[in-house]
Structure 1
């Protein structure tokens, strides 16, 4: 049992019984490290006040529960911590699966026109609600999210997340050059509005702020300086941006910043590297870049579905891990083609295969849960089901869809079960999603007002 059981559980606690898996450390890319995970074939998760009270064997914990305790039993499912996404764009739902372009043309043709609509507060509010309901329907309980360059878009997303008591990190995009009218801000305004949002939302409930220059091409040197100043002046905030995703993008950065050694040096020069910084993509990089990331603690968000969909390239997971770089897993919707972290794991596996590498299913599930919590500095609150953490968890259907049902047998080993879920699973495998112990998505009733509207409309 992970946690020492309390002498007495409080009245009103609830319990969830069934096969249960969570991680205690990084299992590694090879043979899983001993003690890195806990798998209970008949586990019990005890919850009260939005937190985990205990996780352990059902036969040990059931006898000490209060007599009237409600116990949900999921014998043919799998209870896991909620999935965490380290890079996703709230305003890009409507540009998913847009045909036929690579990164820079895709931004100009699809993304920027769509994002311009988020200047409208009511539209931002409705899309934020829809976005969160769709995350929950895909099993994602927290994440690092891009809003748009409009302050109201970040406000709306924070407000919606706070209502659900989700752990969300987001920020207003800083973008003062090489962008269309309606999306450009100014260096001074981006600094001022970001500070206002930090003061209003960072640390409110479970909300946290991320300083968000879109990428170096859309920020002037002055704006990047302001971003670095914000990161230095506001302890605990994160920084998110894009980096080294596409060959044309890299060539453009070289033209815009000829005085800098390379793309990473642009961010380094402006004080944007560090252990609270998450750079999405990092595909076309050098060993020297990896060493600098490791030295500074800067993290990479690996975005496999967008990298393959946009033809950007194949991320080298093994080289990053060997260099000591911390790597998160991310959907990158809307360049990415699914909000599902199960689908994202499957694509990550294929990218590794094409690289001559291997991604075992335990490592993949670790990356989507505790690993991503560590990347985002929230592992003290989420990522596994240890006592005291928020009760953010999922009930996965091991037989969702005919092929998974065909492969699901009572004697399935853990590795085989996880591999089937990550290769064959998608949003249909999400039976229940809980945030702080409260069911926020039930596949059988399709709870969530905005999701209902989406499904019916």
Structure 2
């Protein structure tokens, strides 16, 4: 796809976050009932009231109107497995049995790059259909799985982060690499893809159970050699998992200390789940700026537990929200936020609609250290955004007609919304999904909504 080489104005209701609404209240966001978003050459050029911005436009500037719709920054998913698309909705297991019975056999197929490419294309189209424009993504142990993913992402010009799984024990032999091969494959992928266009790399030891000391040392070496790459892995998702980690690493103070001993903590380190962390682990998260990725649909589906985000906030632990497909049950961040609300309720707390959408946009961008590029409509940011339809289903339309405040309307969108609520998705100013138009991934889109 080519980047937009013109100015286009998008007119609709617009919501843009500046900070955390739980901290700064109404000062944390901008809401324009009749707003205008100006995009120039794939970047945000201006944002404001439509009446003010339209009066300043030069003759002939294209205006795209979305009546009864809401424009928000593209949503961000901080933990998801693209090779697990076909594993979604697999019955009856908790984490370790689920991996052995469903996940590992599915991931074997990604040794075939053509197969990996087909799934990568499907996966990215599903994300875009749901209004998600950036994700932190696991590949498989196969180098070609990540090559296929980045090639598919590059074709869409999406800002994605992906990594090759490092896994040299406690997995089927057909999925195991070695410390040295995992290092060499990861190094080659970093050299080829990290900061290549909008693609970024994450060093990816699956979790402590599946990596030897020698392999974790190789992960540490990669992080030292490439200090601006990401680190993604899992932690404290399941109590049986935690017990196994304690057996494998008897000298570690706790689960997080396993990773800490190899200097894998830091502001670009994202640890999925973190349901059962202790006080010392909270302290190390806080001290290092590492973050927890909250995966509510997966935690419920696999029976892993209820993450208490209120406790994370009290402990000043950074966190984000993610789908964790295929343990997670939906690509939709709206559905994910709906389940996050319910988990928070079960913990005796509340998660507001404004805080939810902040997390899915600017909040998640901050945890990925990408808020200077995505997550808000700050001037100069990359123009990734989603157009949400307040009347996407009869039930949604009925409910929205009864809502009197912005908070009520947003909450109804989250609880009742899914991919049907996403009218359109834009990447760097280009329309890459329109609910009413089939946009094929192999078609070059030269300007917003035009083929």
**Aligned partner (choices 3, 15, 18) of residue 12 of structure 2:** 18
Q: Equivalent residue for 2:287? A: 295
Task: Give yes or no for contact 1:244–1:284 (8 Å, CA) kept in 2.
Answer: yes
- 8 A Cα contact 2:271 2:292, kept in partner: yes
SS of structure 1 residue aligned to 2:83:
helix
Give the 5 Å matches for 1:33-44: 33-44=25-36
Of the structure 1 ranges 267-276 and 209-218, higher mean CA displacement relative to structure 2 is found in 267-276
Instruction: Count residues in correspondence.
Output: 440
Structure 2 residue runs without a partner (length 5+): 444-451
Q: Indicate the residue corresponding to 2:322 in structure 1.
A: 330
Deviations 1:231-288 (A, max 9, x none): 1220210000000000000000011111111111101111111111000000011122
Paired residues for 1:111-126 under 5 Å: 111-126=103-118
Q: Are positions 1:237 and 2:229 aligned together?
A: yes
Tell me the residue number matched to 2:448: none
Partner of 2:22: 28
Matched residue, 2:388: 396
Q: For residues 45-96 of structure 1, what are the alpha-carbon distances to aligned partners after superposition, in whole Å with 9 as ceiling and x for unaligned?
A: 0111111110011011101112111111112010100000000000001000
Residue pairs, 1:427-442, within 5 angstroms:
427-442=419-434
Q: Distance in 2 between matches of 1:412 and 1:137?
A: 28
SS at match of 2:15: strand
Task: Supply the distance in 1 between the matched residues of 2:438 and 2:140 (Cα, whole angstroms).
Answer: 28
Taking the aligned partners of 1:21 and 1:446, their CA distance within structure 2 comes to 27
Give the structure 1 partner of residue 101 of structure 2: 109
Work out whether 1:140 is the aligned partner of 2:127: no
Are 1:176 and 2:168 matched, yes or no? Answer: yes
Tell me, yes or no, if the aligned pair for 2:110 and 2:145 is still in contact at 8 Å: yes
Q: 2:367 corresponds to which residue?
A: 375
SS at match of 2:176: coil
Aligned partner of 1:413 in structure 2 is: 405
2:297 aligns to what?
Answer: 305
Q: Secondary structure at the match of 2:195?
A: coil
Question: Does residue 1:357 correspond to 2:340, yes or no?
Answer: no
Quick check: 2:70–2:389 contact (8 Å CA) kept in 1? yes
Question: Does structure 1 retain, via aligned residues, the 8 Å contact 2:403–2:409?
Answer: no
Contact kept? 1:11, 1:69, Cα under 8 Å: no
Instruction: Give yes or no for the alignment of 1:81 onto 2:73.
Output: yes
CA distance in 1, matches of 2:360, 2:403: 25
Under a length normalisation based on structure 1, what TM-score does the superposition of the two structures give? Answer: 0.94
For 2:335 and 2:294, the matched residues in 1 are separated by 13
Superposition pairs for residues 242-253 of structure 1, below 5 Å? 242-253=234-245
Change (3 A) 1:438 1:11: closer
Question: How many angstroms does 1:448 deviate by?
Answer: 2.9
Distance 1:405 1:51, change over 3 A: same
Question: Given that residues 241 and 279 in structure 1 are in contact (C-alpha distance below 8 angstroms), is that contact kept between their aligned partners in structure 2?
Answer: yes
- Alignment partner, residue 270 of structure 2: 278
Structure 2: distance between partners of 1:250 and 1:341 = 28
- TM-score, normalization by structure 2: 0.96
Q: Compute the displacement of 1:12 (Å).
A: 3.4
Residue deviations 1:335-371 (CA, integer Å, cap 9, x gap): 0000000000000000000000110111000000001
Q: Is the 8 A contact 1:385 1:391 kept in 2?
A: yes
1:100 aligns with 2:103: no
SS at match of 2:124: helix
- Whether the aligned pair in 2 keeps the contact of 1:125 and 1:156 (CA below 8 Å) is yes
* Alignment partners' CA distance in 1, 2:392 and 2:404: 15
Q: Equivalent residue for 2:447?
A: none
Does structure 2 retain, via aligned residues, the 8 Å contact 1:245–1:284? yes
**Contact 2:166–2:211 (8 Å) recurs in 1:** yes
Q: Deviations over 1:128-148 (max 9, x none)?
A: 111101110011001100000
Q: Are 2:5 and 2:41, in contact at CA under 8 Å, matched by a contact in 1? A: no
